[in-house]
Amino acid sequence: MNVRKFLAASSREAYRMVREALGGDAVILSNRNVNGEVEILALASEDMSSLVGPGADSRSESSQAYGAEAAPRPQSGPKPALQAEPAPNAEQEMTWAQFRPQAAAAPLAPTPPAGGFARPGDGNQAANLAEALQSARATPAAREQDTAQMSQVMHEIRSMRGMLESQLAELTWTGQQQREPVRGEVMCQLLAAGFSASLSRYLAAKMPAGLNPDRAMAWIKTILTRNLAAIGNENEILEKGGVFALVGPTGVGKTTTTAKLAARCVMRHGPGKLALITTDGYRIGGYEQLRIYGKILGVMVHSVKDDADLRIALEELKHKHTVLIDTVGVSQRDNMVAEQVAMLAGAGTPVKRLLCLSATSTGETLSEVVRAYQGNGLAGTIITKLDEAATIGSALDVAIRHKLTLYYVASGQRVPEDLHVANPDFLADRVFRLKRETATFSLRDDELPMIVANSARSMNDSSLREVSLG
């Protein structure tokens, strides 16, 4: 009898090894966990068949001996011949239906029933039953391992899909660029202006065919103008009034922009109709800077520390036409952003939040800032540091994707001269006026296929489907 041992990380793998080594009719003798692995002892069907003959002979001899002891031994005469063993009755024979409950009660494979060995063909059924039982009783560690393997397989499938999409996009764009070189030129200008690769490719792909370069760029500017939402005039703030809070990360120019808005309000309604509030108690000189502006304008500046102080201050200033709140600058990754949004939302008075976005930041940073400060909704945005940015395509790209309403653009430190009402036509034209220093960052035609390939998966962004083309 040749009993073989199989070790594997899971029962499924162990049974597969048994089938490959001994065949589908192999008989499972034992199944247990040893040091985190599954150990199976199995016997080939040929070895089991070789055991059936000797077993029958031994049973015949035992039956003859038992009968000899029960009956009186003859004293003389010839020795009686051996008779064939009678077939076992219904009580002695164990059928497969009687064997199944015992197999389910123990993790070991079925052993030969009393009175005889397993019949030919039962070995394969026993192996399948034991495999099913072991799979049903898989330990949490084995299930976790199977889940990890499945996750790895799915990750590899997704990677292969992304690689195929990138290669197909590169080949498609290469052929299209050869047929219509104007699309490649338009996309180069969009990328050089700071727009994302996905939006640039989307606009270049949707552009009407047969346009010359000048008409193609005119079409692009028209589409950008149509998708840039702006207030159009200052009546939204200066005439309607209300409570406005300028929010955003550190260093985007919130305090200076607040002073510019305050100066415009004073010029329109006088200092008695305006109130200034600051929550900047962390930055050294933050309150003093706004207080100096307020002293020049003749407006009192109030400092608050928490939501309770803010509610009290707004209750006292409810008779004012316009209230401007200068908030403390907080990184978009800081937990204080959520606290600041909650404080303004629970002030007891409707507060319109204006997000200040620096035109010098990258598109990835600006998108992260918008998602962090979105909260329950932004009233609009103010693009600052327009004079410091070589390109403003990233800021316009984010405004288009997130459907932000543009209120103002700031282009310097002068108060209030360097604050202008956002004009989509001006911005769409200004974005393509590149400085000579940015020429080294412009893309060549042979570099475009790689950019298109990397943007293949981002083309499924839902924000692109909301871009109006006509």
pLDDT in tens, 283-322: 655 677 888 888 888 998 898 888 888 999 999 998 999 9
Instruction: Order across the sheet with 3-8: list the strands.
Output: 3-8, 37-43, 27-34
**What's the confidence (pLDDT) of residue 83?**
42
pLDDT tier at 383, thresholds 50, 70, 90 = very high
Has residue 183 got a pLDDT over 60?
Answer: yes
**What's the confidence (pLDDT) of residue 178?**
57
Mean of pLDDT values over 66-83: 43
Has residue 406 got a pLDDT over 90?
Answer: yes
Which residues are CB-contacts of 163 (< 8 A; sequence separation ≥ 6)? none
* CATH 3.40.50.40 is held by the domain 229-421: no
pLDDT tier at 427, thresholds 50, 70, 90 = very high
Which of 27-36, 409-418, 458-467 ranks highest by mean pLDDT?
409-418
Between helices 286-297 and 254-269, what is the axis angle to 10°? 20
**What's the confidence (pLDDT) of residue 80?**
42
The lowest-confidence range among 30-34, 48-52, 344-348 is 48-52
If one counts every other C-beta atom within 10 angstroms of the C-beta of residue 405, the result is 16
Cβ atoms 326, 258 nearer than 8 A: yes
Cβ atoms 204, 469 nearer than 8 A: no
Question: 143 or 165: which carries more pLDDT confidence?
Answer: 143
Radius of gyration over every alpha carbon of the chain, rounded to an integer in angstroms:
41
Which of 102-111, 145-154, 355-364 ranks highest by mean pLDDT?
355-364
Backbone angles phi, psi at 63, to 5 degrees: -65, -40
Distance of CA 299 to the CA centre of its chain: 48
Cβ atoms 448, 173 nearer than 8 A: yes
Question: In the chain, which residues fall in CATH 3.40.50.300?
Answer: 229-421
pLDDT tier at 180, thresholds 50, 70, 90 = confident
**What's the confidence (pLDDT) of residue 166?**
58
Has residue 355 got a pLDDT over 90?
Answer: yes
Distance CA 253, CA 111 (A): 82
Mean of pLDDT values over 25-50: 79
**What's the confidence (pLDDT) of residue 380?**
92
Distance CA 136, CA 130 (A): 10
Question: 85 or 408: which carries more pLDDT confidence?
Answer: 408
Cβ atoms 141, 36 nearer than 8 A: yes
Tallying the residues shown for the chain, one arrives at: 470
Distance CA 276, CA 292 (A): 12
Exposed / middle / buried, residue 246 (Cβ in 10 Å: 0-12, 13-18, 19+): buried
pLDDT tier at 236, thresholds 50, 70, 90 = confident
| CA-to-CA separations, 25 to 4, 40, 44, 129, in angstroms, rounded | 14, 15, 7, 12
Residue with tokens 């102080």: 309
Mean of pLDDT values over 384-411: 91
Has residue 439 got a pLDDT over 70?
Answer: no
3-state SS, one letter per residue, for the chain: CCEEEEEECCHHHHHHHHHHHHCCCCEEEEEEEECCEEEEEEECHHHHHHHHHHHHHHHHHHHHHHHHHHCCCCCCCCCCCCCCCCCCCCCCCCCHHHHHHHHHHCCCCCCCCCCCCCCCCHHHHHHHHHHHHHHHCCCHHHHHHHHHHHHHHHHHHHHHHHHHHHHHHHHHHHHHHHHCHHHHHHHHHHHHCCCCHHHHHHHHHHCCCCCCHHHHHHHHHHHHHHHCEECCCCHHHHHCCEEEEEECCCCCCHHHHHHHHHHHHHHHHCHHHEEEEECCCCCCCHHHHHHHHHHHHCCCEEECCCHHHHHHHHHHCCCCCEEEEECCCCCCCCCHHHHHHHHHHCCCCCEEEEEEEECCCCHHHHHHHHHHHCCCCCCEEEEECCCCCCCCHHHHHHHHHCCCEEEEEECCCCCCCCEEECCHHHHHHHCCCCCHHHHHHCCCHHHHHHHHHHCCHHHHCHHHHCCCCC
